Structure 1
Amino acid sequence: MWIKEEPSPTPGAPDVSGPVDKENETEERVHSCGGRQVFSPEENRAIGGAIERLGLQLIEKLPIGPQQPNVVLSPLSLAFALAHLTLGARNETEKLLLKSLHAQSLPCYHHILGGLVPHFSNMDVASRMYLRPGFEAKLSFVEDSLARYRSQPVPLTSVEEVNHWVGNATNGHIPNFMESIPHDVVLMLINAVYFKGEWQTRFDPLATSKGIFYLDNQNLVSVDMMKSAQYPLRLMDDPQLEAQVASFPFKGNTSFLIVMPLLGRGNVSSVLPKLNISDIYRRLPQEKTMQVNLPKVKLQYRQELQEALTRMGLGSLFSGPDLSGISDHPLKVTDVRHASTIELSEEGVEASATTAITSMRSVSLFSVNSPFLFALVDEASHTPLFMGIVTNPAPDNDPMLNDDPHINSTMADQPAMENVRKSDINSQLTSCSDTEQAEGSSRPSCSAPTGEKEQLQPVNGLEGSSGKKKTQGNEIYTKPDNFVPDV
């Protein structure tokens, strides 16, 4: 996040920051914690739910299209960046930020959020505050930043130094976070998140083969599918979401949640307003061994968030916010950037941030072969560490026309659609057995059929799209119109 200094207001100019609430109950409730250091699982999950709602709201506001078919972000990283800014916000600006964080009624928000990090498995979270030489932030803000979010104040000297720190914090997955630093930026708040998890049950690399992913009812794309004939999985059909929901466990206390709308019954966007991760985990059944197909995915995503945050009601951050807790000089946010990557492979995932009756399908098979929403979830607090939408797991591959008459129909016949999808899966898993094993492995392996397949034809006028590059970083910049930095 970039912050710049604004010209001082003209004497007699109206104060647009809102009235000063000297007995600000919201600030007291969120910032003060009465010396408490330990919090209950319910309090941790309340913070996790707030982070989830922030992530879902943001995803709804982000563009998805042919040139950017996938979204990958870390709600946790964004929550850290906005919460860090909240430490220096006052009056209406603070209230708006707390509302966007869904933290207005959460006691000890900053204490719990900062205290969650050590409990996350296989995850590193780092924060840093860059100050332009010559700009002095208030000591209280610097001390609170260090105490709550372990954000070290560092002189802002060069873009190379910033990129070097971000690269190290994300294990090299975001080597060039920034191209340049505007001359009038006086403060940058950066948060970086890195996760590397290993499946509790790995996929056999020898079983990975080409498979089909349905982009919609007319187009598909060839992808590398990881396959297992016997994979322990928590799976249910959710009638309210009209989706299949599955949880893939990692070693540690983390899991990979997939929500895949049923073909012909809506899309991923229709799921977002109804999603509740805590409710899903409460209703998921026990693990059951089944056949599983999961696409290999390596997605890179970069997005400036000013427009999306403005649509979420935070537009005043970029015009005339009250950040007097940082400095007595007028400041405003000029840029909020987010960069993330996620990779699904046979070993695991590497990422740099209702009360309805449910039932299982009679066929013990789960194939992720159409657009889906995912979340990398801490199971203790139900915090979504990463979230995203995948509408095309192979954006560099050319889409192909699907000439199957069932798929090209109106897709109103859901049973027919599911049978087509299952027949595709079964044809790809014709030779899976417990006796055919990879060398040195006790896991079953699968081989794809060797017979000839009909050549799929490229679709005229459709081009493959490439995802934007980057892993998990967030920043907030602040800069001044009349500020002359020391050189």
Structure 2
Amino acid sequence: MSHLKTTAAWSGFLSATLLLTACGENSPDAENTADAVPAEEEPDDVSMEDVNEDVPGSTQTFGWNLFDHLLQEEENQLLSPASISTALAMTMAGADGETKQEMTEVLSLHGLEDEEIDASFQALITLLEDTGSDVELAIANSIWKREDYGFDDTFIEKMEEEYQAQVEPLTDEEPINDWISGQTNGLIEDMISEVRPQTVMYLINAVYFQGDWAEPFEESLTTEGTFTTSTGKEVDAMMMRRAEKEPVFLHSENDAFQAVSLPYGEEERWSMNVILPHEEEGSLQKTVDAFRNEDPLTFSEKVGNFRLPRFQMEEETTLNEPLIELGMPKAFNSAEADFSRMVEGGGIFISEVLHNTFIDVDETGTEAAAATSVAMEESAPGYDFDMIVDRPFLFTVQDEETGVLLFAGYVNKPEEG
């Protein structure tokens, strides 16, 4: 175990949560680590030189901005910035004009050429999946397209080649849900409730992670304890601890929080950073702000009394409003969205961005999964008005010539005969 470790901003590319970060031999600060693991030859000669240096950090910036936007102190929260970024980057590859400009700003990818973005995501997926033998990580992309719709061949080829996306026909939700379940080891089920008639494509990313602690907690020492929520309510929690009398941890502390880094596997390339804001009012926001400002964590070995609750979380989030509020409204506007590089002439928009996550943390390690789905729909024709009769209504049946009112009615609940 190293005596000093710095986790830099780019290392959060695959944060399955904001506690789970990559901090291995490819980190820009790995030279500061006394026992850094020697870099192995990457498959197909892919290396960090194939990744634009701004892309991983941009992804983490976007992740923390979104996390901060969604954060409610009284509620649990679980995001995979990597999954969301990848799904949106795939979608952005079909955008143009102001729609594309807004998306690049929100994803913090402004100033980069399309080729740099696409090639960087392609290389990162390859690099991240080469985790070694003691951590399992799978990243998969797919697109599901209506066969009778005129998608641009260049866009489809880019999805297959640059994002390694599986291309399938869009029929109903069952094959999509089966694919997501298969890619996440069954942790995310029935993500898509139905495929609407006007939906022409789904762009989907799925992530699965499983890692055992380099130094596991001793299950026989797990005891019931008290966890105090943000509202002051005390709840029961099973608190884990290590077996050593004087356990050594990688620890960091500043005026906003203290943190412990828990490595996975023998190579210790991956780790969970457990970040505990101080009890003073405002420390939670101060902690989030520190990460949004890309302040690195510097850990050093210390003997400590560290206890962590076992926990399991499962979240389902619709990201339309948060993404609009962060600055990309045109992509969701049927009249203004420009996805003309996806479909000749455009005429489609993002109707829904769904994000489902799961994580289970216990004495042996962590299992986590995430999936992000971007649904594209046809823009409605230029109607003079919209009238969708989906709530109580009145009706009449009359003779237009004599004015005789034959029937008058009110429907509160439609019933079929």
Structure 1 residue 170, shift from structure 2 partner = 0.4
1:432-473 Cα shifts (integer Å, max 9, x gaps): xxxxxxxxxxxxxxxxxxxxxxxxxxxxxxxxxxxxxxxx11
Cα distance, 1:217–1:96 mapped onto 2, change above 3 Å: closer
Matching residue of 2:368:
351
Q: Which of 1 and 2 has higher RCO (CA within 8 Å, sep 6+)?
A: 1
The answer (yes or no) to whether the contact 1:51–1:79 under 8 Å persists in 2 is yes
Give deviations 1:352-387, integer Å, cap 9, x for gaps.
0xxxxxxxxxxxxxxxxxxxxxxxxxxxxxxxxxxx
SS of 1:323's partner is: coil
Q: How many residues get paired?
A: 323
Structure-1 separation of matches of 2:273 and 2:93 = 32
Pick one of 32, 56, 59 that aligns with 1:51: 59
2:312 partner amino acid: K
Alignment of 1:232 with 2:220, yes or no, is no
Equivalents in 2 of 1:248, 1:63: separation in Å? 24
In 2, the alpha carbon distance for the partners of 1:40 and 1:199 equals 26
Amino acid corresponding to residue 351 of structure 1 in structure 2: A
User: Are residue 112 (structure 1) and residue 100 (structure 2) matched?
Assistant: no
1:475 aligns with 2:365: no
> AA paired with 1:322?
D
- Report the Cα offset of residue 335 of structure 1: 0.2
Contact persistence 2:221–2:243 (CA under 8 A): no
2: CA distance, partners of 1:63 / 1:279: 19
Question: In the TM superposition, what is the alpha-carbon distance from 1:91 to its structure 2 partner?
Answer: 1.6
Per the alignment, in what secondary structure is the counterpart of residue 85 of structure 2?
Answer: helix
Conservation of the 8 A alpha-carbon contact between 1:238 and 1:245: no
- Contact 1:229-1:291 within 8 A present in 2 as well: no
The correspondence for 2:270, drawn from 251, 254, 268, is 254
The farther-off stretch of 194-203 and 91-100 is: 91-100
User: Does residue 86 of structure 1 match 2:92?
Assistant: yes
Amino acid at match of 2:166: Q
Task: Kindly indicate whether the alpha-carbon contact (under 8 Å) linking 2:257 and 2:283 is maintained by their aligned counterparts in 1.
Answer: no
Q: 1:198·1:250 contact (CA, 8 Å) conserved in 2? A: yes
Match of 1:301 among 286, 309, 315: 315
- Aligned partners of 2:234 and 2:323: how far apart in 1? 33
CA distance in structure 2 between the aligned counterparts of 1:97 and 1:482, rounded to whole angstroms: 22
TM-score by length of 1: 0.63
- What secondary structure, in the 3-state scheme, does the structure 2 residue paired with 1:183 have? coil
Q: Distance in 2 between matches of 1:273 and 1:65?
A: 14
SS at match of 1:144: helix
Q: Paired residue for 2:218?
A: 204
Q: CA deviation at 1:63?
A: 5.3
CA distance in 2, matches of 1:183, 1:332: 14
Query: In structure 1, what residue type is equivalent to 2:126?
Result: P
Task: Kindly indicate whether the alpha-carbon contact (under 8 Å) linking 2:59 and 2:82 is maintained by their aligned counterparts in 1.
Answer: yes
Unaligned runs of 5+ in 1: 1-35, 353-471
Q: Report the residue type matching 2:354 in the other structure.
A: R
5 Å-filtered alignment, 1:300-339, equals 300-319=314-333, 320-328=336-344, 329-339=346-356
CA distance in 1, matches of 2:379, 2:354: 21
User: For residue 474 of structure 1, what is the amino acid of its counterpart?
Assistant: T
74, 77, 88: which one aligns with 2:83: 77
Deviates more, 1:107-116 or 1:87-96: 107-116
Q: Which residue of 1 aligns with 2:402?
A: none
Amino acid at match of 2:341: G
Asked if 1:97 is matched to 2:103, the reply is: yes
Aligned residue number for residue 234 of structure 2: 220
| Number of the residue aligned with 1:388 | none
Q: Deviations over 1:278-308 (max 9, x none)?
A: 6424x222x3343320110100000100011
State the alpha-carbon separation in 1 of the partners of residues 230 and 154 from structure 2: 53
- Is the partner of 1:326 in helix, strand or coil? coil
Q: Does structure 1 retain, via aligned residues, the 8 Å contact 2:52–2:117? A: no
- TM-score after normalising by structure 2: 0.73
Q: Is the 8 A contact 1:229 1:292 kept in 2?
A: no
Mark the CA change 1:217 to 1:99 in structure 2 (over 3 Å): closer, same or farther: closer
Q: Give the RMSD, CA atoms, in angstroms.
A: 2.2
Instruction: Answer yes or no: is the 8 Å Cα contact 1:88–1:325 preserved in 2.
Output: yes
Structure 1 stretches of 4+ with a deviation exceeding 6 A read none
Structure 2 runs not aligned, ≥5 long:
1-43, 382-417
What is the Cα deviation at residue 311 of structure 1? Answer: 0.8
Amino acid at match of 2:91: L
Aligned-pair CA distance for 1:104: 1.6
Give the aligned partner of residue 409 of structure 2.
none
1:271 matched to which residue of 2?
Answer: 287
Residue 129 of structure 1: how far off its partner (Å): 0.4
2:141 and 2:166 in contact (8 A); partners too: yes
CA displacement 1:157-185 (0-9 Å, x = unmatched): 12111110000010000121111111110
Shift of 1:125: 0.6
Indicate the residue corresponding to 1:389 in structure 2: none
**Counterpart residue number, 1:128:** 142
Q: Once the 2 structures are TM-superposed, how far is the Cα of residue 270 of structure 1 from its aligned partner?
A: 3.0
- Give the % identical residues: 25
C-alpha separation between the residues in 1 aligned to 2:197 and 2:149?
13
| Residue identity matched to 2:220 | L
Whether the aligned pair in 2 keeps the contact of 1:184 and 1:480 (CA below 8 Å) is: yes
Distance (whole Å) between structure 2 residues aligned to residue 44 and residue 288 of structure 1: 35
Alignment-mate amino acid for residue 121 of structure 2? L
Contact 1:300-1:341 at 8 Å conserved across structures: yes
Structure 1 distance, partners of 2:315, 2:196, is: 22
User: Hey, what does 1:140 align to over in structure 2?
Assistant: 154
1:189 is displaced (CA, Å) by 0.3
**Aligned equivalents of 2:112 and 2:222: distance in 1?**
46
Secondary structure of the residue that 2:315 maps to in structure 1? strand
> 2:252–2:299: 8 Å Cα contact kept in structure 1?
yes
In 2, Cα distance between the equivalents of 1:190 and 1:42? Answer: 24
1:30 maps to what in 2? none
